[in-house]
Structure 1
Amino acid sequence: MNKSNGCDRHQKGAALLVALIMLLISTLIGLASIRGTTLNEKMSSNMFDRSIAYQAAESALRMAEAELEANQTLGVDCTFIPPANRFCPSMPANTFSFSDSSGWFDVDSSYLVNDTLLDSTPQYYIEKMGSIDAFDFVGSDSANDSMYGAPGGGGSQMTQFRITARSGVPSENGRSVVALQITVNQTL
């Protein structure tokens, strides 16, 4: 005959309840770690897109500088040196426009840009800001002015250009677009 002691009658499935609670907790921890991993992957992907876009915009700046060295007549005339008759916005109005690309030049293939990753070609926009005396720019006599002319009159002149570069034409695909801007002073 099998005798049982009185302890068996008092157990009502507590082990099952504890196991289910532990399973629920481990499932929640697993889901939280999956969510964190997915978020990290998205952030890493966005940083990669931004890095590629930044490199493309820098490439466009380099090409625009080379174009200016070869030909100083480039650029949209946007004089701001007094007396300024026109308003010159800090960035071209169509920098982040989906449809308007007027005034923007594409970077050619000699500037090694991986446009397959960008889904677009980097572009630049050149604005001719005006001419100033070299003396006004450096704040004192330049060696050129000391030798060949007085500051503020008859001395060397500099032309200022503003170059705005963007990593590509903005599109609706959600890719990063980086815009960079520099000012270039060239002696005439």
Structure 2
Amino acid sequence: MSFSQRMYHQRGMTLIVGLIMVLLMTLVGMAAIRGSGMQEIMAGNMRDRNLAFQAAEAALREGEDDVAGDTLPAFTGGGYYEALDESDNTSYWDSTFEWTDTSAVQPSLGLKWVSEQPQYVVEEVTSTVVKSSEGGAIDFLETLKSEETKFYRVTSRGTGGTEDSVVILQSTYKR
């Protein structure tokens, strides 16, 4: 077989190999673009959640400042309540409690980049503590030494750049 006959039989093989390489490079490029888009979405969601957390933290501090003040507000509603039923359950604040302007305190923080300003609720929770003098067993005489202690549970709600990112924080404060 002569040189020209061998060249004739191999025509187009380079083209096929080249096209396969271009196809593989296109697939790798498309996968990289898709991965970058997904990472950008995840970074945006993380930013939204961080904004919501910071807003909720700011409202929580405002609520704690209210409780730490010289005079306590009246716990009759409008964001200040005596212990609410089932409020110690975490799903209560997420689904049952209505976060409106009249049911929660909306401090004038003027936060930017959040979809709505944060809010907080303060509850006055009374707990009965039995004081044992020597740390021994509790008998009838020790139960007579019980005293009521008041705690203040502050619950705040913050949203991020969209209404889909919500963070609820809670702290317990004792005066």
> Deviation digits for residues 63-116 of structure 1, max 9, x if unmatched?
00111123433421127xxxxxx655424845457975252111213xxx52x3
- Return the letter of the residue paired with 2:65: A
Task: Tell me the TM-score normalised to structure 1 length.
Answer: 0.69
Runs ≥4 in structure 1, deviation > 3 angstroms? Answer: 86-89, 91-100, 151-155
Shift of 1:167: 0.3
Question: C-alpha distance in 1, partners of 2:30/2:97?
Answer: 39
1:175 is displaced (CA, Å) by: 3.4
Report deviation, 1:174. Answer: 4.6
Which residue of the other structure, out of 116, 123, 128, is the alignment partner of 1:120?
A: 116
Which one has more relative contact order, counting CA pairs under 8 Å at least 6 apart?
A: 2
Corresponding letter in the other structure for 2:105 = F
Equivalent residue in structure 1 for 2:167, among 178, 182, 185: 178
Q: 1:88 to 1:13 in 2, by over 3 A?
A: closer
Mapped to 2, the partners of 1:66 and 1:41 lie a distance apart of 38
Once residues 54 and 123 of structure 1 are traced to their aligned partners in structure 2, the CA distance between those partners, rounded to angstroms, is 12
Contact 1:91 1:164 in 2 (8 A): no
Would the alpha carbon gap of residues 87 and 33 (structure 1) be closer, same or farther in structure 2, given more than 3 Å must change? Answer: closer
Find the counterpart in structure 2 of residue 76 from structure 1: 81
Alignment length, in residue pairs? 160
Q: CA deviation at 1:9?
A: 2.3
Deviations 1:10-68 (A, max 9, x none): 12411111111001100000000001111111111111111111111110110001111
Long gaps (5+) in structure 2: 135-142
Question: Hey, what does 2:152 align to over in structure 1?
Answer: 161
Unpaired runs of at least 5, structure 1: 80-85, 142-150
Q: Residue 151 of structure 2: SS of its match in structure 1?
A: strand
Task: Answer whether contact 1:60 1:107 (CA < 8 A) is retained.
Answer: yes
Q: Would the aligned equivalents of 1:95 and 1:166 in 2 still touch at CA under 8 Å? A: no
1:185: how far off? 1.4
Computed over aligned residues only, the root mean square deviation of the Cα atoms, in angstroms, reads: 3.4
